[in-house]
């Protein structure tokens, strides 16, 4: 067999290599920690731990920087990174984007925690701006639901209830029941830190760096950008408006 033949035949079996994100569409890459229920079982406060959250924010920052995302949203052990329709990193190759985003998240979080952890990764495509808004509303609703449930679950567990019994109490119950359960225990869910109920956003902000040129003796100004961490996101329709404003500014 000629070397060129084997090259072509082997390359052809790299079957998924040609897959690319649909051109001209918004995209979100979402990474999620593998078996983080187990990881957080010991050594982290329940239901939420500020140190754990800081590690997730650091991981989201690494993804924003390495992939040049427009916006990141993190809740629990997941991070969604939004990309504009014209974003062309790695020529939009799916395998590259999914594998490297998982790798970047895994490496960044592992360095933070000092142990080996891994993240999975998937891609969501947004054919319209309103679907992108819906996507982030969906993840935020998930954050709120999980936070309320988590607070209830751990309130019961801390009273000595078994895991199975606590899950049974909460199964099929709605928001009102869960809010009441917490209220009876002196916890007002609305007073729980916003990052737990609403998640956290990361976005680029512009700032002007003042400097001095010793050669000319003149003051200089340079526009730079840096990541802003928003720990008090709006919710529901206000969050829709927040995301829509971000999409519009990207288009401008």
Ligand X SMILES: Nc1nc2c(ncn2[C@@H]2O[C@H](COP(=O)(O)OP(=O)(O)O)[C@@H](O)[C@H]2O)c(=O)[nH]1
The site for Mg ion (CB under 5 A) is made up of: 32-33, 36, 77
Q: Tell me which of ligand X, Mg ion, none is bound by residue 53, counting a contact when its beta carbon lies within the kind-specific cut-off of 5 to 8 angstroms.
A: ligand X
The yes or no reply on residue 158 touching ligand X (CB under 6 A) is no
Nearest partner of 144 among 200, 217, 196, 206, judged by Cα: 196
Nearer to ligand X by C-beta: 124 or 204?
124
* Count of residues interacting with ligand X (CB under 6 A): 16
Helices 129-158 and 163-170: crossing angle, nearest 10°? Answer: 130
Asked whether position 69 contacts ligand X by CB under 6 A, the answer is no
Structural element, H or E, at residue 250: helix 237-251
Residue 237 C-beta: closest distance to ligand X, Å: 26
37 binds ligand X (CB under 6 A): yes
**Contact with ligand X (CB under 6 A) among 26, 48, 87, 242:** 48
Q: Which residues lie across from 209 on neighbouring strands?
A: 222
Residue 204 binding target from Mg ion, ligand X, none, CB below 5 to 8 Å by type: none
Nearer to ligand X, 35 or 130 (CB): 35
Q: Which two tokens stand for residue 180?
A: 């009441």
Nearer to ligand X, 48 or 73 (CB): 48
Name which of 17 and 168 has its Cβ closer to ligand X: 168
Q: Is 53 in the site for ligand X (CB under 6 A)?
A: yes
Rounded Cα gap, residues 11 and 192, in angstroms: 53
224 beta partners: 207
Can you tell me which residue has the tokens 């954050």?
143
Number of H helices, E strands in the chain: 9, 6
Shortest reach from residue 50's CB to ligand X, in Å: 8
Footprint of ligand X on residues 71-110 (CB under 6 A)?
Answer: 76-77
List the 78-83 sheet strands across, edge first.
119-126, 26-33, 78-83, 71-75, 200-213, 218-230
The overall longest dimension of the chain from CA atoms, in Å, is: 77
Strand partners, 20: 93
Site for ligand X in 193-252 (CB under 6 A): none
Report the partner that residue 124 touches, choosing among Mg ion, ligand X, none (CB closer than 5 to 8 A by kind): none
Binding stretches for ligand X (CB under 6 A) = 32-37, 40, 44-46, 48-49, 52-53, 76-77
């Amino acid at each position: 067999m000629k070397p060129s033949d084997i090259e072509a035949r082997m390359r052809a079996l790299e079957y998924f290599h040609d897959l690319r994100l649909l051109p001209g569409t918004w995209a979100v890459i979402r990474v999620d920690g593998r078996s983080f229920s187990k990881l957080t079982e010991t050594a982290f406060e329940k239901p939420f731990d500020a140190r754990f959250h800081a590690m997730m924010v650091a991981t989201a920052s690494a993804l924003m920087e390495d992939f040049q995302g427009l916006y990141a949203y993190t809740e629990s052990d997941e991070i969604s990174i939004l990309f504009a329709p014209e974003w062309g990193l790695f020529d939009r190759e799916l395998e590259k984007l999914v594998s490297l985003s998982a790798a970047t998240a895994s490496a960044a979080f592992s360095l933070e925690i000092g142990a080996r952890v891994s993240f999975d990764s998937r891609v969501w495509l947004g054919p319209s701006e309103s679907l992108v808004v819906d996507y982030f509303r969906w993840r935020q609703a998930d954050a709120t639901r999980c936070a309320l449930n988590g607070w209830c679950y751990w309130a019961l567990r801390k009273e000595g209830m078994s895991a199975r019994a606590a899950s049974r109490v909460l199964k099929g119950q709605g928001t009102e029941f869960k809010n009441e359960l917490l209220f009876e225990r002196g916890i007002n869910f609305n007073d729980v830190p916003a990052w737990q109920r609403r998640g956290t956003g990361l976005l680029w902000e512009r700032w002007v760096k003042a400097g001095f040129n010793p050669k000319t003796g003149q003051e200089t100004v340079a526009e730079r950008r840096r990541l802003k961490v928003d720990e008090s996101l709006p919710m529901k329709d206000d969050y829709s408006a927040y995301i829509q404003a971000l999409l519009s500014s990207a288009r401008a």
